[in-house]
């Protein structure tokens, strides 16, 4: 099979070392043979940096702030034409999908490079919903035959998928699931509602988490595939502070659905999908934080006060140094979490929560600093800083805030 441009660009390990230790993963750790001499190193290969450059260049053309402002005013929040260009030119939807399912078969390291650059560019597209949530749930919970049926269209960008799991109670775990699935013969029907569904009002395929009547806790949880145009499905966009990321509330009234995987076996696949989502969102967030830091520094070097740039003031130097330190630490946590997923690390749940908590705090604080550095203009609609600030605030609570993830991390280490 001919190799795509993406496969040719990313062909080396994501970390650069002469000897690869067994089990090492993308952006991973280099452990010396002696336990007394342990070195940890994060770096990407030249091929991956070239890939990052290509993605950044493409997004600079396709996702300018002018385009972001135009799309965020629309109800859908994205357009098929731009979505098709994203996949026809770079094939980004197929990065993590296995080659047997029509994808490129790379790991979370490469996938998080893409998400980091999309967070930097504030891309208005259903990429996160389709490739992280929708495709992730299918990979984790569907049978091989179902994966072969559903994933090729997602990899090609022909089908936009999403995951509907959270309900009005706002719980980001399976405990809050009340939507029920009933079976009549060989046909399943769903009744209930889902809320805060990413791109749920425009998705072609919706993966729904539901439970059998009378079940509680994690028992009875199953994943179902529902067509976006299914009879009885009511899709309504939600008004939110972040107009660049669209959310929807879905109502299910005897909606026919296809069971994915085994009935009642969705607890672990769903939990795995949410861990992956936390890591991927962390990468997207550090990309946005890096963009804010760079824009704030550029403005400080341009803005003149008392005859010299405000960047030369000692207080500004301290603030810039703090921003740089916080962003670099968050990036390291996100890279490490991606490596843990690729390696199947036993502590990947804790590292995912660590990355999400760190990225949540860093992104929002960097946005606050950026607005302060811009001064009065930073609060105006015409200045672009508020776009990233709103994304930072919405991402802070998406899949759980920093406090929730710190609690999960501590519970994991205490277990």
Per-residue confidence (pLDDT) for residue 42, from 0 to 100: 60
**What is the mean pLDDT of the segment spanning 170-179?**
88
Residues 146 and 114 placed together within one structural domain of the fold: yes
User: CB burial class (10 A; 0-12, 13-18, 19+) of residue 38?
Assistant: exposed
What pTM does this model have? 0.88
What average pLDDT is seen over the chain?
87
**Is the same domain home to 90 and 235?**
no
Structure confidence by residue, pLDDT tens digits, 319-332: 999 999 999 999 99
Give the strand pairing for 304-305 and 187-198.
Answer: unpaired
Q: Are residues 305 and 355 in the same domain?
A: yes
* Separation CA 173–CA 153 (nearest Å): 28
Q: Which of 213-222, 240-249, 291-300, 328-337 has the lowest mean pLDDT?
A: 213-222
Instruction: Print burial letters for 148-170: b (CB count within 10 Å at least 16), e (below 16).
Output: eebbbbbbbbebbbbbbbbbeee
Whether 80 and 111 share a structural domain: yes
For the ranges 29-33, 158-162, 232-236, the lowest mean pLDDT is seen at 29-33
Q: Is the pLDDT of residue 88 over 70?
A: yes
Question: Residue 311's pLDDT is what?
Answer: 81
pLDDT over 90 (residue 385): yes
Q: In this prediction, what percent of the chain has a pLDDT beyond 90?
A: 68
Q: What CATH code is carried by the domain that includes residue 396?
A: 1.20.140.10
Spatial neighbors of 362 by CB under 8 A, at least 6 apart, are 285, 286, 289, 326, 327, 329, 330
Q: What is the dihedral sign for C-alpha 139, 144, 145, 148?
A: positive
Q: What is the CATH number of the domain that holds 181?
A: 2.40.110.10
Q: Is pLDDT larger for residue 311 or for residue 20?
A: 311
**End residue of a domain, out of 107, 134, 159:** 159
What pLDDT does 71 receive?
95
Look at residue 17 in the predicted model and tell me its pLDDT.
33
404 and 276, same domain (yes or no): yes
113 and 92, same structural domain?
A: yes
Q: Are 194 and 208 in contact (CB under 8 A)?
A: yes
Mean pLDDT of 124-146: 96
Q: Is the pLDDT of residue 7 over 50?
A: no
Structural domain span for residue 147: 5-159
Same domain, 19 and 139: yes
Number of domains in the chain: 3
Q: Domain check: are 278 and 144 in the same one?
A: no
Q: Which of 27-36, 37-46, 189-198, 228-237 has the lowest mean pLDDT?
A: 27-36
Quick check: 376 pLDDT over 90?
Answer: no
Mean pLDDT of 175-197: 92
Residues 288, 375, single domain; the answer is: yes
Structure tokens at 2: 């001919």
- Identify the domain boundary among 119, 138, 159: 159
**In this structure, what CATH number is given to the domain that contains residue 80?**
1.10.540.10
Judgement on whether residues 148 and 251 belong to the same structural domain of the protein: no
Per-range mean pLDDT, top range of 120-134, 168-182, 300-314: 120-134
Q: Tell me the average pLDDT across 151-172.
A: 94
Same domain, 118 and 179: no
One domain for residues 154 and 175: no
Domain end point (choices 108, 132, 159): 159
């Amino acid at each position: 099979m001919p190799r795509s441009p993406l496969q040719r660009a990313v062909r080396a390990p994501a970390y650069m070392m002469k000897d690869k230790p067994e089990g090492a993963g993308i952006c991973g750790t280099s452990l010396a043979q002696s336990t007394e001499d342990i070195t940890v190193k994060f770096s990407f290969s030249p091929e991956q940096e070239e890939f990052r450059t290509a993605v950044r260049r493409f997004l600079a053309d396709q996702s300018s702030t002018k385009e972001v402002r135009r799309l965020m005013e629309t109800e859908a929040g994205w357009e098929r034409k731009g979505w098709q260009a994203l996949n026809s030119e770079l094939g980004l939807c197929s990065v993590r999908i296995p080659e047997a399912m029509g994808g490129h078969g790379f790991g979370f390291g490469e996938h998080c490079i893409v998400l980091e650059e999309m967070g930097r560019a504030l891309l208005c597209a259903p990429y996160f919903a389709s490739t992280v949530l929708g495709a992730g749930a299918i990979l984790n919970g569907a049978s091989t035959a179902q994966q072969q049926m559903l994933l090729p269209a997602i990899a090609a960008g022909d089908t936009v998928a999403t995951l509907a799991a959270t309900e009005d109670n706002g719980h980001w775990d399976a405990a809050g699931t009340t939507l029920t699935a009933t079976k009549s013969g060989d046909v399943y029907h769903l009744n209930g509602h889902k809320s805060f569904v990413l791109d749920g009002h425009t998705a072609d395929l919706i993966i729904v988490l539901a439970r059998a009547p009378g079940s509680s806790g994690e028992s009875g949880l199953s994943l179902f595939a529902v067509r976006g145009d299914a009879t009885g499905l009511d899709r309504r966009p939600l008004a939110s502070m972040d107009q660049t990321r669209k959310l929807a509330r879905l109502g299910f009234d005897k909606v026919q659905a296809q069971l994915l995987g085994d009935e009642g076996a969705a607890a672990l696949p769903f939990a795995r999908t949410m861990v992956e989502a936390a890591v991927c969102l962390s990468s997207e967030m550090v990309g946005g934080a890096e963009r804010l830091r760079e824009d704030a520094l550029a403005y400080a070097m341009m803005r003149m006060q008392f005859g010299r740039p405000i960047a030369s003031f000692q207080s500004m130097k301290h603030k810039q140094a703090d921003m740089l330190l916080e962003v670099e630490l968050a990036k390291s946590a996100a890279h490490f979490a991606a490596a843990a997923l690729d390696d199947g690390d036993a502590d990947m749940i804790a590292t995912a929560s660590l990355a999400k908590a760190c990225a949540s705090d860093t992104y929002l604080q960097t946005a606050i600093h950026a607005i302060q550095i811009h001064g009065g203009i930073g609060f105006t609609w015409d200045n672009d800083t508020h776009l990233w600030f709103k994304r930072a605030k919405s991402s802070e609570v998406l899949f759980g805030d920093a406090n929730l993830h710190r609690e999960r991390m501590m519970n994991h280490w205490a277990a």
